[in-house]
């Protein structure tokens, strides 16, 4: 059962009236995926929107020889799967749970009906799509304009700005991604990323502290923007 409280956690539906929430509650379902569970594959037909209540997923494209490019990592409150519902094309990427992940699932016709009825939801949706396009533009710039060292530095800055917590001393820390995850986000090998992380650490741009990375102010000064 999906409650109004759960829906309130999803920014896409911020600003909805109780009456709308009630009707969403009666039609949405809750689904749990285990770590590494595939939610859907690229090229599948899409008929549902997914909203993450808790957990983390990756949006990824796989090449024929098994190489992976991670387009995005999404977590609590994020939604995905809207593109196929809006343009009626197959899924543009594969979605895989990175840890046990609980989601609310909304069927295409119910999603489209709420979007048509409530301009607020449409604006929330467009706002997220605009941010994703901005981020994709930055990623294209990062891939095209920088060497692997610069790419690693910039992807760490991006993660810090999205998921980071400011410490008492002003530095920002966030949960450390695996070197393979970073490699798959910037089109490099895991070995190269490991070497670059060690270099950044040695040069005082980052500090590794248990499961976290701490970003030093010098990293932003040196590598901010493209
Ligand atoms: P859809 O094409 O239906 O299925 C894959 C989903 O991944 C897509 O909808 C979006 O929700 C999401 N997605 C695709 N590309 C990106 C991206 N660059 N950033 C964030 N999410 C994305």
225 pLDDT above the threshold of 70: no
pLDDT at 1: 66
Q: Which residues line ligand 1 (CB under 6 A)?
A: 46, 59, 71-72, 80-84, 91-93, 95, 132, 136
Q: Which of 183, 182, 163, 181 is nearest to 173 (CA)?
A: 163
Mean pLDDT of the chain: 92
pLDDT at 24: 85
Q: How far away, in angstroms, is 30 Cα from ligand 1 center? A: 20
**pTM score:** 0.90
pLDDT band per the 50, 70, 90 thresholds, residue 5: confident
Q: How far away, in angstroms, is 92 Cα from ligand 1 center? A: 6
The string of pLDDT tens digits covering residues 87-143 is 999 999 999 999 999 999 999 999 999 999 889 899 999 999 999 999 999 889 988
- Choose the residue to mutate in 44, 58, 71, 112 for probing ligand 1, maximizing ligand atoms within 8 Å of C-beta: 71
Q: How far away, in angstroms, is 18 Cα from ligand 1 center? A: 29
Percent of the residues in the chain that have a pLDDT greater than 90, as a whole number? 70
Residue 50's DSSP bridge partners are 80, 105
132 CA closest ligand 1 atom index: 19
Task: Name the burial class of residue 153, with classes exposed (0-12), middle (13-18) and buried (19+) by CB atoms within 10 angstroms of its CB.
Answer: buried
139 CA closest ligand 1 atom index: 18
């Amino acid at each position: 059962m999906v409650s109004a409280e759960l829906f309130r956690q999803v920014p896409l539906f911020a600003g909805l009236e109780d009456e709308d929430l009630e009707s969403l509650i009666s039609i949405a379902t809750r689904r749990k995926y285990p770590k590494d569970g595939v939610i859907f594959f690229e090229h599948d037909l899409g008929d549902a929107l997914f909203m993450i209540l808790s957990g983390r997923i990756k949006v990824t494209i796989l090449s024929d020889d098994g190489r992976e490019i991670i387009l995005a990592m999404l977590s609590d409150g994020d939604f995905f799967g809207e593109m196929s519902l809006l343009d009626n094309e197959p899924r543009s990427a594969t979605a895989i749970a990175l840890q046990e992940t609980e989601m609310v699932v909304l069927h295409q016709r119910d999603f489209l009906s709420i979007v048509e009825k409530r301009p607020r939801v449409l604006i929330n949706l467009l706002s997220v799509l605009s941010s994703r396009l901005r981020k994709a533009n930055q990623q294209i710039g990062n891939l095209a304009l920088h060497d692997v060292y610069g790419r690693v530095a910039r992807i760490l800055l991006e993660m810090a700005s999205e998921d980071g917590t400011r410490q008492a001393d002003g530095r920002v820390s966030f949960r450390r991604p695996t070197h393979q995850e970073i490699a798959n986000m910037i089109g490099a090998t895991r070995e190269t990323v490991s070497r670059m992380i060690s270099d950044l650490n040695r040069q005082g741009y980052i500090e590794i502290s248990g499961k976290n990375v701490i970003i030093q102010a010098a990293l932003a000064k040196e590598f901010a923007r493209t």
